[in-house]
Chains A and B, each alone.
Chain A
Amino acid sequence: EAQVTQNPRYLITVTGKKLTVTCSQNMNHEYMSWYRQDPGLGLRQIYYSMNVEVTDKGDVPEGYKVSRKEKRNFPLILESPSPNQTSLYFCASSLMFSTLGGELFFGEGSRLTVL
């Protein structure tokens, strides 16, 4: 089954304790991206990657890191989480965008709470 898998789905942590949210896709997609969703603010892009070893900042990259060492995996790293990073996080993937379109496939989301 074609899917994007995120882990963990739910996490409660404390300020400053490094954590990693994993994301893996089995569709051989070049493009992967991370979003956070907060009430009233919609989905805001954190980082995206066009292919292995190619990453770029989205609209809200502060406090986050990513890496793309393999095509299928795109982990999101919070080196020193703070309470304002409490949010619902989505990973998404797609074939390369083109004039024909670019459907994003989303994972089920990871709800993170930082105390």
Chain B
Amino acid sequence: GQSLEQPSEVTAVEGAIVQINCTYQTSGFYGLSWYQQHDGGAPTFLSYNGLDGLEETGRFSSFLSRSDSYGYLLLQELQMKDSASYFCAVSLFSGDSGGYQKVTFGTGTKLQVIP
């Protein structure tokens, strides 16, 4: 089966940098995504890595190493509004319908930003 591991909770200071790691064990790996979810809200997309390396989007960056089955989300210049849960998700090849559309999420990392 598939498994994704990420820390359950992280606390960081406003203005600092925090890294949330995600390791995965899957078959048919296609890409790694990151989503943010505030309490009571829906998940919103942050980034996607289909190839090894770093993707940067403003204060957020995401990294993927396929050989290590590992990725991370880097949040810089933390703001109080960044307090939320962050989920990594893997896109997988699925043979049932000949496509690659299965998306499995990790259990999420709750980030608390403190003053």
Interface residues of A (CB under 8 A from B): 31, 33, 35, 40-45, 48, 50, 54-59, 90, 92, 96-109
Q: Which residues of B contact A35 (CB under 8 A)?
A: 105
How many of chain B's residues touch chain A, expressed as a range?
Answer: 20 to 34
- In contact, A101 and B102 (Cβ under 8 angstroms): no
Cross-interface CB contact of A45 among B31, B99, B102, B108, cutoff 8 Å: B102
Q: How far is the CB of B106 from chain A (nearest CB, A)?
A: 6
29 CB < 8 A contacts A-B: A31-B101, A33-B101, A35-B105, A43-B43, A43-B89, A43-B105, A43-B108, A45-B102, A45-B103, A48-B101, A48-B102, A54-B97, A56-B101, A56-B102, A59-B2, A90-B42, A92-B43, A96-B101, A97-B31, A98-B50, A99-B31, A99-B50, A99-B51, A102-B31, A103-B48, A105-B45, A106-B43, A107-B42, A108-B42
Q: Which residues of A contact B108 (CB under 8 A)?
A: 42-43
State in angstroms the CA–CA spacing of A93 and B31 once bound together. Answer: 17
Given A35-B105, A99-B31, A104-B35, also A43-B87 (CB < 8 A)? yes
State in angstroms the CA–CA spacing of A42 and B104 once bound together. Answer: 10
- In contact, B31 and A90 (Cβ under 8 angstroms): no
State in angstroms the CA–CA spacing of A55 and B97 once bound together. Answer: 8
Interface residues of B (CB under 8 A from A): 2, 30-31, 33, 35, 41-45, 48, 50-51, 87, 89, 91, 94, 96-97, 99-108
Q: Which residues of B contact A58 (CB under 8 A)?
A: 102
Q: Which residues of B contact A44 (CB under 8 A)?
A: 105
Given A90-B42, A97-B30, also A57-B96 (CB < 8 A)? yes
Nearest chain B residue, comparing its CB with the CB of A42: B107
Nearest chain B residue, comparing its CB with the CB of A58: B102
Nearest chain B residue, comparing its CB with the CB of A43: B105
Q: Which residues of B contact A50 (CB under 8 A)?
A: 97, 99, 101
